Structure 1
Amino acid sequence: MIYFRYPFSDQILTIDEASAQKAVRFVSFDTDEIIDFNGNSKEISLNQFLDNTTDSDSLSSELIDFKEEKETDYLTKIQQVIDFVKENNLSKLVISRRKLLNLERDKVNLTQTFLHLCEAYPNAFVYFFIKDGKCWMGAFSEVLGKFNKKTSEFETMSLAGTIPVHEDWTHKEIEEQHPVTDYIKNILKDYSGEVGQSETYDHPSGNIKHLRTDFKVKINRQDVEKIISELHPTPAVCGFPKEFCQKAIAEFEDHPRSFYAGYIKVETDETIQYFVNLRCAEFFQNAVLLYVGGGITADSSPEKEWQETELKAGAVLKNLSFN
């Protein structure tokens, strides 16, 4: 079962599984785990969606023996990451954590939660799926790539830096976004003679905002997957250089990211779109795990990084609907 909604759309879509065509694919951060939904996408009405109301207590899997990372342990680790970033002269290294919400006395109305996310984040790709014993939901607006089959235009964006919507940018966020922009531009140069690049501007997302730069190029259809494999994971969810930072993440993080910071591929007759899977949560019968992270730089403050992850967790947390 899967439901999703495109950015700036009111349509709720699902998959008609009568076809063998791969319509929606979820790829994990390490690309080792893939969940496919085969068929053709089709719109359903709000009433049809509500007719299939699903609660967390109907899920088949439970979270067992999970220990949440304490704030003190996180602060100690982030200071070690800052030292590591300085020692290795890294522009940034992205470190994630998981926030636990126990459902011992409550159950989450997953259907209403999806609708709340759609309302709260009109510019986001919002999804909700249950398959193979897993249940995930998320809402985020970072596009890893979008290919127009008719025009051969490929679009992507550099999205990094996070602060509350009412605050002003500091040197830290500006320096955090620069390597993401340079990284993407250098990859696209290998596939197109002309790279269109926008000015950097604010990208609001609910209670927070990011810095964003857009790119547009014309490419060959057969190069789409090559570009995506080079772009993922971007410095925005990993760091740079990519391979070095991936190894460092494995050392500093004591948990698998699973589908967090992976990507979602959605294909239709006209387009192939790839969305980065951030602001997301994994749902169990007895708990919710909220996945969040932050770009650690030499200028980072452990306390501010903790506050930033708490702020990001609120993107899903404040939109949960309980029965």
Structure 2
Amino acid sequence: MVETLTFENPLLQDFSALCRGFLFTSPWRSLTTQGCFTTITTPVKDGAALGGDFQQQLQQHFASARKQGIANPILVGAIPFDVNQPSALFIPESYQTFNRADLNVPQTAPEETLPHVRRRTAVPDHDAFTSMVAQAVAATQRGDLDKVVLSRLMDIATEQPVDTAALMQRIVAQNPNSYHFHLPLPEGGALVGASPELMLRKQGRDFSSCPLAGSARRENDSQRDRAAGETLMNSDKDRHEHKLVTDAMRETLQPRSRLLSVPTVPSLITTSTLWHLATQIDGEVLDEQENALSLACLLHPTPALSGFPHQRAQRLIQALEPFERQLFGGIVGWCDDQGNGEWVVTIRCGTVKGARVQLFAGAGIVADSQPESEWRETGVKLDTMLRAFGLQ
């Protein structure tokens, strides 16, 4: 089977059909897949090394796919927060790319498709989370590290199994400018979400990234909303947190880049619920053998997802968080056999399996962070998914 490029297809008019495989939407290039040629669960701990085991395996899988008649194979899926854990990647039998402006997404889902919630549990609860944040603040004030990202889950049990296609329909309709993803998982269920953050996009030798760090809640009143954005832009705490991310990314990308542009001043972007500090990074690779996944693995996880320095932050995360993040805080996307592709950060997301849903949100903790404020920030981030369930 072979892939088809941008197309006119009634599939775009049937949203539920798109959610039978991997679905990824982006303002650059969107795609949907059918079937599975082979799965790849190898951890990407050496995925940034062009001559490493993972990249060699990937090229072997691409070669096998071409031998079986897949002319231009593509790798899709997700990589966990901890790169030592198994990946959730596969090469589909076929795929189509499309312009997401052509995607027919009904603006409302029938009420009967909304799940009736039996139980909602915060993991950890309010007191445990604010205690975690207080410990992380103390660690940054001691100079143990500069920043750590702490997260929490919302564990939801529903009366009936969740219709993931209806859920995705609501996610896309309510967050039209985000990156949307639906990934069937090997153990059943799906990873779904609307990420605002581009980890890495590559086309030819050109690449770009747009890290987010520092956020503030949107306001209903337009004047207060603009003021919230201006306050964020002028916040020493949030600007410091953001600079830690962009400085680390500049240092990481520089040796692999022929050209690299990292602005010194961030810009403001918005989602439906939050203002974010963002920096548009652009560059050109030094080695034409680089691919979208090798660069994404080079960056992942950025200080926006773990902290800085990374190893110290990861140890503190393991000590404080009462769960394994798995795919939460990872990356999701695609890479073709020509090296082009796009990977976004797995945030504003959840996993759905039958009648159980887990939602994920995190916040960057620095020396000036306030535990109660971080609880509220993660709550606002969870709103993206809770609204999709009709539960906000």
Q: TM-score range by the shorter chain?
A: 0.7 to 0.9
Would you say the 8 A contact 1:158–1:214 is kept in 2? Answer: yes
2:265 pairs with 1:197: no
From the superposition, tell whether residues 77 and 321 of structure 1 become closer, same or farther in structure 2 (CA, over 3 Å): closer
Quote the offset at 1:320 in angstroms. 1.9
Deviations 1:86-135 (CA, angstroms, capped at 9, x unpaired): 1135321001111122213x553321221222122222211123232232
Partner of residue 218 from structure 1, selected from 260, 284, 302? 284
Deviations 1:183-229 (CA, angstroms, capped at 9, x unpaired): 11111211224312344111111110211111111112333444333
Write the distance in 2 (CA, Å) between the matches of 1:36 and 1:153: 24
Write the distance in 2 (CA, Å) between the matches of 1:222 and 1:121: 35
Matched to 2:250, the amino acid is K
Write the distance in 2 (CA, Å) between the matches of 1:6 and 1:97: 26
From the superposition, tell whether residues 90 and 103 of structure 1 become closer, same or farther in structure 2 (CA, over 3 Å): same
Write the distance in 2 (CA, Å) between the matches of 1:2 and 1:243: 35
Write the distance in 2 (CA, Å) between the matches of 1:162 and 1:67: 21
| Structure 1: segments with no counterpart, 5+ residues | 48-54, 58-65
Partner of residue 163 from structure 1, selected from 216, 236, 242? 216
Where does 1:1-323 land on structure 2 (aligned, <5 Å)?
Answer: 1-8=20-27, 13-17=31-35, 20=65, 21-31=73-83, 32-39=85-92, 40-42=94-96, 46=104, 68-104=123-159, 107-132=161-186, 133-149=188-204, 152-165=205-218, 166=225, 167=228, 168-169=231-232, 170-198=235-263, 199-219=265-285, 220-224=287-291, 225-268=293-336, 271-320=340-389
Task: Answer with 1 or 2: which has the greater Rg.
Answer: 2
Matched to 2:216, the amino acid is I
Write the distance in 2 (CA, Å) between the matches of 1:180 and 1:157: 11
Quote the offset at 1:69 in angstroms. 1.8
Q: How many residues align?
A: 307
Say what the alpha-carbon RMSD is for the aligned residues: 2.9
- Percent identity between matched residues is 23
Write the distance in 1 (CA, Å) between the matches of 2:22 and 2:259: 37
Runs of 4+ in 1 over 4 A off after TM superposition: 43-47
Q: What secondary structure sits across from 1:190 in the alignment?
A: helix
Deviations 1:246-303 (CA, angstroms, capped at 9, x unpaired): 1111111120001111111312468211111111111132321111110011111110
Write the distance in 2 (CA, Å) between the matches of 1:265 and 1:126: 10
Matched to 1:200, the amino acid is P
Quote the offset at 1:80 in angstroms. 1.2
Write the distance in 2 (CA, Å) between the matches of 1:246 and 1:126: 27
Q: What secondary structure sits across from 1:85 in the alignment?
A: helix
Would you say the 8 A contact 2:162–2:354 is kept in 1? Answer: no
Quote the offset at 1:13 in angstroms. 3.7
| Structure 2: segments with no counterpart, 5+ residues | 1-19, 38-64, 66-72, 106-112, 116-120, 219-224
Ranked by relative contact order (alpha carbons within 8 Å, sequence separation 6 or more), the top structure is 1
Deviations 1:151-173 (CA, angstroms, capped at 9, x unpaired): x1111123111111321212221
From the superposition, tell whether residues 76 and 15 of structure 1 become closer, same or farther in structure 2 (CA, over 3 Å): same
* TM-score scaled by length of structure 2: 0.71
Would you say the 8 A contact 1:56–1:283 is kept in 2? Answer: no
Write the distance in 1 (CA, Å) between the matches of 2:307 and 2:378: 17
From the superposition, tell whether residues 22 and 8 of structure 1 become closer, same or farther in structure 2 (CA, over 3 Å): closer
* TM-score scaled by length of structure 1: 0.85
From the superposition, tell whether residues 230 and 277 of structure 1 become closer, same or farther in structure 2 (CA, over 3 Å): same
